[in-house]
Chain A
Amino acid sequence: MRVSINWLRKLIELDITNTELVNLLPLRTIGTKEATEDFIELDMKGYNRADLLSMRGVAYEIAAITNSNVLFQEPNGDEYIWNNQTLPQVDVKVEDTKLVPLYCVAKIEGIEVSPTDPTSETAKLLTDSGMRPVNNIVDITNLVMLEYGQPLHAFDADSVENQTIVVRTAEEGEKITTLDDKERGLMKTDLIIADPQKPIGIAGVMGSKSSEVGSSTTTILLEAAIFDPVTLRRTVTRLNLPSEASKRFIHGLTKERLFQALDAAIRKLGGKLTALTIVDNLNQTPVSLNLKLSKVNALIGIEFTPEQVEEYLKRLNFSLEKMSENAWKVTAPYYRLDIQVEEDLIEEIARLYGYEKIPAKELQGVLPKPIDQSLFKLIEKVRAVLVELGLSEVQTYSFYSTAVLSNLEKDKSKLVKILNPISIETEYMRDNIWPNLLEAAIHNLKFFDDVAIFEIGKVYRQNQLPEERYILSTALSNSTDNPLLELNTIFTRLTTALDKAISVNSQITHNQEFHPIRNASLEKDQQNVGLIAEVHPRIVNRFKEENRTAVLEIDLKALL
């Protein structure tokens, strides 16, 4: 949310400087991404404060944390422009009221569309808020959205067949050309706005090109709605079409703000309201929560007085009903959809007080019973022994690079595969570590003629479901034509230090990855637990390296 500072100062009686405000916001409310003379950008990524996606919500919040007054009034529902007139309905059919709990359309005639003067105050407000001025109609819907947090959409009424609106899910394969001139394929899971013939908008995401308000528009159908956030988010993700509007739909909207926004927009647009339909199946009741002073103090770790608790919550427009000396029934203001449990209220109190003022308190209580730490102790011991023997520890990715996959002719069907890899370098997960160590050793052989490295980590194997286990792997290239000799000595020293008997069974292998003679399986209690081998020079050569390299790999369980 990009908050225009000029606009904010018109909404609150604010006594502090911009710099003070920018410093205070992260301590009381939310982090900021950017701050200039003209705007403060709140870091809303993943946040649950839907109310902060409106200037009014931001104003209430900042008024609370700075203990100042807002300069606007909550609109009174009785004064909405449509309340004192009898209006015909726009023909609207809402197919699924679960997906569309509230849908309103106002028909406004006698509209005059004119381009926005780029030097106007409106243009400045919009650009400070991160939006582009378009024409008076679009600008008004955007400004109203910014102020109230409720997105609005205007359709050119003459482009809507029979001026009839159907809100439904799309047919598989149905297509729409959106405002940005792109044709988009729709799916059954997408919610759309249509006329009897064709889609005229993807609900909450973008309108169609054909129903766009243009210079010849004289009548509009103005939409204000609440759509199912889950359905909408799925469509936005699939089409990769995030927008200022969709963001607000996804975070959650309220009936109160919707009517306030619709009323404000109709008044600002001019023209004449000639028809209105409200399909209201939304039941939003404010949550009432029990709050105990003892719980507040226990969770925050500070002794608050009842007066402090009351003051903080009242500043945030919560209403309190005293149940006893130190307990209340608290109701959140309608725009705070994020308040669900008592702990949410306690967070409000903590942040108005200031997290940074909470003193440190040492941990008390009895220590838990010891649990098995042998795996971690073993890892520590193995690391210490190998470092002592002169090896350097490395960490490589849990994936196989394309170089490893091709040079080792890996059978990809046996590997755990990523459904949505970032690139082809992160598509397959490692089922051994030594190929990655070989790659790392070869990288280092460009700078050193001797490389001795190890990694302790997890490998991932495809079974019915993926399995993972801890292994130790090492790689050694020491400028000799038989590095296995030294690596085997290191292994012997390691098993001696750990007091473990692992048998080395030398074998003739047809495994193309290894030297035909210099390879062995590691066994414990007749079970295969790893390998020690020289990597076949052919494989090393494929990495454009000549030096002979030996590797070791062992299941950590065998060393436990």
Chain B
Amino acid sequence: MQEKISQIKDEYLAKISSVNTLKELDEIFLALFGKNGVVTQLPKEFSALEKEQLRVISPLFNQTKQQLEEAINRRRTEVREEYYQKLTQEEADFKTTVPLKSRAGSAHPLLQFEKEISDLFGKLGFQLFDAPHIDTDYNNFEVLNIPEEHPARDLWDTLYIDTSNVGKLANQLLLRTHTSNAQIRILENFKPPIRMMVLGRCFRYENLDARHEHTFDQFELVYVDKGLSMANLQYLSEYFLQSVLGKDTKVRLRPKYYPFVEPGVGIDGLCLFCKGEGCKVCGYVGWLELGGAGMIHPQVLKNGGIDPNEYTGIAWGPGLERILMLKLGVGDVRLFRSGDLKFLKEARYI
């Protein structure tokens, strides 16, 4: 048996060092460690051995097995490195154009949905406005009536930026928790009438599961003019939900607290699955919570240099991923940023 083992070892070590491709190495690996590989099969013969013999053979076998594995791995790295070295002999060609393979391209379902929404509100004269992802605590919270250590901060678990290397603004920079960080920029930079929409990525300190994401997109309208009312807010909510969920979608407003609006509003849509009867999707309440809104708080208007006695404002925003998940019949919010083409290419409205 000892002889047999050392024979296998010598034979295969020689083979391993003589081959030059990964493919050959894979074949050797299979010949040794595959289901019918010689190393795999060898222990079957051990039952015939005396205990004394086994005490010698067993460690020898294990040692050989390890040596062979290591040899393959080492050779694999060598073959790779040889191949990497040869890359310098390859050519780069930025002049020739080639026929493109035929592929079915696809837009990301979330961004596609966002495009539909911005087109929808574009028709009402709303224009897109871009705001940064990394922002100050002031723009994201304070100016919106949410001072430090205010209990309302519990609504936004926040990711902060480490600024220790620049030695300033400690705890003052964060990843925006909502698109509302655009509000102060809009109010300060434009004179009413204002019809803006803000769209984009927001972040929260949130552990991932099928219903929670630390990264999500928000859409928000900032609308300032003379004489705006909650009745306009009802109109915007109906206009939106009936467009994206169906013409007969019922919309209902209810009180909700956000520090930067007063009155504050929660937007519900009648559950499109049970039509209000109550089902698993709506948690047996018949209505789905689909967004938040309100009349912009006079203090926020003032902070933006707009006279609240002359103008009123509406801030309005639906939960994009939530609504899209309903439309796609998708149960896992993480799929949107998984990069998984099986999901992305097949996502269709139901």
Using a CB–CB distance below 8 Å, which chain A residues touch chain B?
26-31, 45-49, 229-230, 233-234, 250-251, 298-302, 341-344, 346-347, 350-351, 355-356, 358-368, 370-371, 373, 375-376, 380, 383, 386-398, 413, 416-422, 426, 436-437, 439-440, 443-444, 447-448, 450-453, 457-458, 460, 462, 464-466, 468, 478, 482, 484-486, 488-490, 492-493, 504, 506, 515-520, 532, 536-538, 541, 546
Q: Which of B160, B193, B231 contacts A368 (CB 8 A)?
A: B193
Check B255 against A29 for contact (C-beta < 8 Å). Answer: yes
Check B230 against A301 for contact (C-beta < 8 Å). Answer: yes
B241-256 contact mask (Cβ, 8 Å, vs A): 1 or 0 = 0000000000011111
Check A489 against B98 for contact (C-beta < 8 Å). Answer: yes
- A304 CB to closest chain B CB (Å) equals 12
Note all chain B residues with C-beta closer than 8 A to A488. 93-94, 97
CA distance A447 to B338 in the complex (A): 14
Check A355 against B255 for contact (C-beta < 8 Å). Answer: yes
| Those 8 A-B pairs whose CB atoms lie nearest each other, nearest first | A301-B231, A440-B339, A390-B103, A301-B229, A46-B155, A347-B263, A361-B231, A387-B105
| B133 part of interface (Cβ distance < 8 Å) | yes
Note all chain B residues with C-beta closer than 8 A to A380. 115
CA distance A551 to B126 in the complex (A): 36
- Known pairs A391-B103, A393-B344, A452-B101; list 7 more (Cβ under 8 Å): A350-B230, A367-B195, A418-B159, A460-B133, A465-B166, A532-B94, A538-B84
Please choose the segment from B3-11, B39-47, B64-72, B294-302 that sits at the chain A interface, where 4 or more of its residues have CB less than 8 A away: B294-302
Most A CB contacts (10 A, CB to CB) among B262, B263, B289 go to B263
* Chain B residue with the shortest CB-CB distance to A436: B339
Most B CB contacts (10 A, CB to CB) among A299, A436, A492, A520 go to A299
Check A486 against B134 for contact (C-beta < 8 Å). Answer: no
Residue pairs across A and B with Cβ atoms less than 8 A apart, 27 shown, are: A27-B254, A29-B255, A30-B257, A31-B266, A47-B152, A300-B229, A301-B234, A343-B262, A344-B262, A350-B255, A356-B253, A358-B253, A362-B232, A363-B124, A363-B223, A363-B235, A368-B193, A375-B130, A393-B107, A393-B108, A395-B111, A418-B162, A419-B159, A453-B341, A465-B163, A516-B87, A541-B80
**Contact-size category for B:** 35 or more
| B265 part of interface (Cβ distance < 8 Å) | yes
Check B101 against A363 for contact (C-beta < 8 Å). Answer: no
Check A395 against B336 for contact (C-beta < 8 Å). Answer: yes
Note all chain B residues with C-beta closer than 8 A to A370. 127
Check A367 against B193 for contact (C-beta < 8 Å). Answer: yes
Check A398 against B262 for contact (C-beta < 8 Å). Answer: no
Note all chain B residues with C-beta closer than 8 A to A450. 101, 103
Check B215 against A515 for contact (C-beta < 8 Å). Answer: no
* Given A230-B149, A465-B166, A299 and B263 contact (CB-CB distance below 8 Å): yes
CA distance A386 to B105 in the complex (A): 7
CA distance A397 to B289 in the complex (A): 26
Check A537 against B254 for contact (C-beta < 8 Å). Answer: no
Check A358 against B341 for contact (C-beta < 8 Å). Answer: no
Check A48 against B257 for contact (C-beta < 8 Å). Answer: yes
CA distance A393 to B336 in the complex (A): 11
* Chain B residue with the shortest CB-CB distance to A379: B111
- B131 CB to closest chain A CB (Å) equals 11
Note all chain B residues with C-beta closer than 8 A to A392. 103, 105-106, 341, 344-345
Note all chain A residues with C-beta closer than 8 A to B253. 355-356, 358
B133-176 contact mask (Cβ, 8 Å, vs A): 1 or 0 = 11000000000000011011111000111110110010101010
- B346 CB to closest chain A CB (Å) equals 11
- A315 CB to closest chain B CB (Å) equals 15
